[in-house]
Structure 1
Amino acid sequence: MRPEEEPEYQTPPTCDLLSLLLRNRRPTGAVNEVWPNLYIGDAATAQDKSLLVNLRITHVVNAADGVQHIDTGPLFYSDTNILYHGVEAADRKDFDLGPFFTETADFIHGALSHKGKVLVHCARGISRSATLVLAFLMIKERLTLIDAVQTVRQHRNVLPNVGFLNQLRHLDSSLALQRRTT
């Protein structure tokens, strides 16, 4: 088969994504660098300002923002130089995280392009935060969903809920369509 005849990329079904996410799981810590200067972590990491300073974190994305979740916010970090972006998301399969994909990807991209270090967290650093990082890798780094999952999984066990996986599948399909038409 010649290169111009390669089959078009197809967004994988949810069951294949789950299989990939559950394969070869091993213990991962509270915080892991999953892309250069991009970290996924849990709530305890986000609330440990001395750890954030030691990691040289300059930006925090809280994917579980709000008083009902992990109430850090810009005021919590006011005695540091950390810039904050909050997403008030519930870790439920019926919660639509899609509307936050682009704004969060823009925030992360802006931080990284100015030599910053970004922590993206939720309660456990597994579902909401992972979903936003995967969306960033797809939107800004032009990775397919499979490539993004494989990249993150090299450094951290993540498991977005099935609703978030379907939202990432939708994003993957629309980005693949854009790549084909440009």
Structure 2
Amino acid sequence: MSFLREIASKRKDLRHCQTLITNTLGESFLEDTESGSVTKVSKSNSSPGYVIDYKPDLQLAEIIPGLYLGSQDPTGNKELLQASGITHVLSLGVKPLDVPEIFFDSASDASGMSSVVDPQTNISFVFVPFLDLPEASLSQILPECIHVIDSALSESGRIFVHCNAGVSRSPSVVLAYILRRSHHRKPWAFVSYNGNSDKPLCLFEAVELVRARRPCIKPNAGFFDQLRQYECGLMKENSQE
């Protein structure tokens, strides 16, 4: 008897059963061992195959004194921003939730960048268009972003930097800022790693510093490569001074 025939013969001895399979899209299929058929079933009682977390991410992670990082969610809670002493918000790619979009549209420049002040809270909101794509250029937005962060911190303010999830875009900008300020120090931005502030941070140390305060950060591969190039540029600048 051939191997395939032996398998077919053994399969006849198996007990008939049906198995309900749900994929990650929430689609359910009924697999029948006797007929070998797979039938799609109604989605009315289907689930996505994992637990969806609908809770807002309201973390305001203080990376260095006065510089906070997180998702878009806290921007929908002005009371939280005020209670945390936030004076400035830098939004990357997504606009804050609790500020009418028309305010930004009326104040935007040719690049789509805009800045408004909320009359109720006096919080300054800056929006910078930026996509979470590996090919999106950090170098095009960093000068303005670093200026916005410096302006807030130099005035003893507190700035919250966010994107949509606070995982890729906003951490990339915060990492670049920390690298720059560890190489070119300013009195309003104290950067220290493991208690050592005598030497500039490398990218690995900057990532560890940020991740210790917001563990979910994960810049996309393109941003990480650009951050390596940015670090090399800072090292070159330092060697020429």
Q: Say if 2:209 is the partner of 1:151.
A: yes
Tell me the C-alpha RMSD between the 2 structures: 2.2
Query: Which digits, 9 at most, give the CA deviation of each residue in 1:64-104, with x for residues without a partner?
Result: 2459xx97645583422111221111111121122111221
Task: Give the match's secondary structure for 2:166.
Answer: coil
Displacement after TM superposition at 1:174 (Å): 0.6
Displacement after TM superposition at 1:46 (Å): 1.6
Map of 1:61 onto structure 2: 90
Task: Give the match's secondary structure for 2:129.
Answer: coil
For the Cα contact (< 8 Å) 1:112–1:118, is it kept in 2?
A: yes
Using structure 2 for the length normalisation, give the TM-score. Answer: 0.58
Task: Give the match's secondary structure for 1:141.
Answer: helix
1:62 maps to a residue whose letter is S
* One of 128, 132, 145 as aligned partner of 1:87: 128
Mean alpha-carbon deviation: is it higher for 143-152 or for 95-104?
143-152
Structure 1 residues without counterparts, runs of 5 or longer: 1-27
Larger relative strand fraction:
2
* One of 139, 144, 153 as aligned partner of 1:112: 153
Map of 1:100 onto structure 2: 141
Displacement after TM superposition at 1:144 (Å): 2.7
Map of 1:164 onto structure 2: 223
Displacement after TM superposition at 1:29 (Å): 6.0
Query: Which digits, 9 at most, give the CA deviation of each residue in 1:6-36, with x for residues without a partner?
Result: xxxxxxxxxxxxxxxxxxxxxx963211111
Displacement after TM superposition at 1:155 (Å): 0.6
* One of 59, 62, 83 as aligned partner of 1:33: 62
Task: Give the match's secondary structure for 1:60.
Answer: strand
For the Cα contact (< 8 Å) 2:117–2:123, is it kept in 1?
A: no
Structure 2 residues without counterparts, runs of 5 or longer: 1-56, 105-114, 184-200
| Greater RCO (Cα-Cα under 8 Å, separation 6 or more) | 1
Map of 1:122 onto structure 2: 163
Larger relative helix fraction:
1
For the Cα contact (< 8 Å) 1:61–1:119, is it kept in 2?
A: yes
Using structure 1 for the length normalisation, give the TM-score. Answer: 0.76
Task: Give the match's secondary structure for 1:152.
Answer: helix
